[in-house]
Chain A
Amino acid sequence: MDIVTRTRADEALLEVSELRTYLHTRTGTARAVDGVSLRVERGESLGLVGESGCGKTMTALSVMALVPSPPGEILPGSSIRFEGEELVGAAEARLRRMRGNEVSMIFQEPMTSLNPVHRVGSQVVEALQLHRGLRGREAAAVAVELLAEVRLPDPEVRFGEYPHQLSGGMRQRVMIAMALSCEPRLLIADEPTTALDVTTQAQILGLLSDLRQRRGMAVLLISHDLGVVAEFCDRVAVMYAGQIVEEGSAQEVFHHPRHPYTQGLLASLPGRRSRGTRLAVIPGVAPSPNLWPHGCRFHPRCAFVMDRCAEQAPDLLPIAGSERTARCWLESPETAAAREDTRA
């Protein structure tokens, strides 16, 4: 059966539910992604932010079916649906087609995915041959166009250069060009602009917004730059210790964070006012994925910790009167009621 006929209007473009990606290492099992659920609609942009090492890249690699195995394993019960079609356990040929034509990814570290011994141009051409069947001169011409579209200076000259001859941000733009070469319906961008100055970054984000509007391309944007997420994304999901701890519209989450982790994150932002002072940090260290804390995974570092937090793990609880959720006992009806009482 054709995928298109199975697609229903109410289906999300991407729906991940209860994703568990574990890594079986020499020192035990790391539960890197541990029950992540998220939805990306057509043409939407979802931001994914969170602590370094909390499992963002692993979540993205799971969707791409690129988790290294061994040591990685996607656990039974995990589900990743693209336009309604289950991808967990799908045949490798199907996954390859998905990666080439429907979903593409900009990887966090460009040098890990650019081949150092091949010229930049031939790598873009190869992507175009593979995904769009273009050949020879036509492929080369489209490649140069793509490189110009991502604002690479002297695209014809850069075409013939090797990755090491490019600056960090130029390599990043080559990667972006390659990811866009297949005209994906979903772009997963893992820290796509970390090596770009803010003016070039604004141009690249503008290009991506444009593609969202023109082609209905959806974007899953992983970034530590909260300003970028606030400006580019409709919704944002905050991750901590292998789980999503808060989700909602980017504006609401950043202006009225509910989870103590999100609050701590926002309090750490540097800037004019912080000059000459120490920055606020969330106390303690990130927990080990081999041994997540019992109860709420954030409780050992939380300023609002209650007895219950150490014993029982909270679910993602809806926040009354909004479309948002937070994984925090402070959002439970009883606690919320008690809070109202003490206020009264």
Chain B
Amino acid sequence: MIAGEAEVLLEVMDLSMHFAARDGASGRVRGLVRAVDGISFTVGRGEALGLVGESGCGKSTTARSLLRLLEPTGGRVVFDGVDVLSMDARALRAFRGRAQIVFQDPFGSLNPRLTAGGMLEEVLQVHHLAGEATGRRRRAVELLELVGLRAEHAGRYPHEFSGGQRQRLGIARALSVEPEFIVLDEPVSALDVSVQAQILNLLSDLKADLGLAYLFIAHDLAVVEHLCDRVAVMYLGKIVEIGPAERLYRAPRHPYTKALLSAVPSLDRKSEPGYERTMLTGDPPSPMSPPSGCVFHPRCSHPKKDEECRRDMPDLEECGEGCFVACIKERSRLGGGA
């Protein structure tokens, strides 16, 4: 369920990551932050699954816990038939050679004491790739050029790069181990659209030629629409809608997805007659005390919103064309023959 057509490479089942929120002064636990709260999805071989949603809804936490950079508090993760959460240190190392991540914050994730070339060569060495020292050096330059940087950049330290150049170093590092699966957390947010296009073309090529699979986290919905086969929309630790990208963009069903799509800034919106942005009203939600029932109900503008939404937590249910939506009102619409 909630899968695409490709052979499944990664399966995430009921994944949860709850953090203890401590009181500033006393250090006492005063609640739980339900950063990720029981989400399930799959990523097929050669497939790109987009993950979008409100800032703070748990996307990066999902990424980190499924790669076990954080130990999730619940659920299961299966990669190529093997249970990731019960891997021992050795199995985990092998897993890291097949599943990589590009971090959201490029500066924080690069070792300040290593040059760009030195960093890539080190990764190649750890994973026994590209032969001896000269081979590694050549491969490091190749990788830099692949992401639109130049050979001369090999000798530079992270602080000597611009924001977008640093972001591309993170991508080069992830590609260096020749993985089968990459989590890309906002990988192109610091790139101008032409360099961004170059990186997106590169990702498409690797996907088509080598069958690379991606979990692609981004706030730029046009980028997600361009690259991804399927898209999952998250809100407050839960997936509220998931389905084929084409369908989800054409006919969004969840009120949150609709609000999101209507807020995309564009070159022409200012001049579009009659264009109305559905602004989300109400306070941003708290993962420490999520609302009862449907987590979106306090900000929902669905015409049929009622008591039921405040009471019942909706599950993801099929709503046609391979799409799943967690909204009681949309589900009943399907039942009513819509």
Contact = CB atoms under 8 A, between A and B. Distances in A.
B221 interface: yes
Size category of the B interface is 35 or more
Interface in B159-178: 160-166, 168
A109 interface: yes
A275 B152 contact: no
A51 B186 contact: no
B250 to A, nearest CB: 9
B271 to A, nearest CB: 8
B80 interface: no
B191 to A, nearest CB: 5
Contacts of B23: 160
B205 to A, nearest CB: 9
Given A153-B56, A168-B186, A227-B267, A269 B222 contact: yes
Interface string B112-142: 0000000000000000000000000000000
B19 to A, nearest CB: 7
A168 B60 contact: yes
Interface string A260-278: 0000111011111011001
Interface in A143-180: 151-154, 157, 159-161, 165-170, 172-173
B9 interface: no
A231 interface: yes
A12 interface: no
Given A170-B56, A224-B193, A201 B265 contact: yes
Contacts of B164: 52-53, 224
A104 B108 CA distance: 23
Contact of A230 (B52, B161, B196, B267): B267
B132 to A, nearest CB: 26
A286 interface: yes
Given A157-B288, A230-B265, A265 B279 contact: no
A109 B105 contact: yes
B14 interface: no
A165 B19 contact: yes
Contacts of B54: 197, 199-200
B193 A199 contact: no
Contacts of A342: none
B197 A270 contact: yes
Contacts of A197: 52-55, 219, 260
A226 B193 CA distance: 9
B193 A194 contact: no
B292 interface: no
Contact of B160 (A25, A172, A199): A25
A50 interface: yes
Contacts, number: 204
Size category of the A interface is 35 or more
Contacts of A165: 19
Nearest to A271: B222
B186 A227 contact: no
A228 B263 CA distance: 11
Interface in B183-232: 186, 189-198, 200-201, 204, 219-223, 225-227
Contacts of A38: none
Contact of B192 (A50, A196, A232, A254): A50
Contact of B279 (A52, A166, A203, A232): A203
Interface in A207-243: 224-228, 230-232
19 contacts: A49-B192, A52-B162, A52-B163, A52-B168, A57-B162, A109-B166, A111-B108, A167-B56, A170-B56, A172-B55, A194-B186, A194-B219, A195-B104, A195-B189, A230-B270, A232-B265, A265-B193, A270-B193, A270-B225
Interface of A: 25-27, 49-53, 57, 108-112, 119, 121, 151-154, 157, 159-161, 165-170, 172-173, 191, 194-203, 224-228, 230-232, 251, 254-255, 264-266, 268-272, 274-275, 278-282, 285-286, 288, 290
Given A152-B284, A270-B222, 20 more contacts: A109-B105, A109-B106, A109-B166, A121-B24, A154-B286, A154-B288, A168-B104, A172-B55, A202-B265, A203-B279, A224-B193, A226-B267, A231-B269, A232-B265, A268-B194, A272-B249, A275-B226, A279-B226, A280-B197, A281-B194
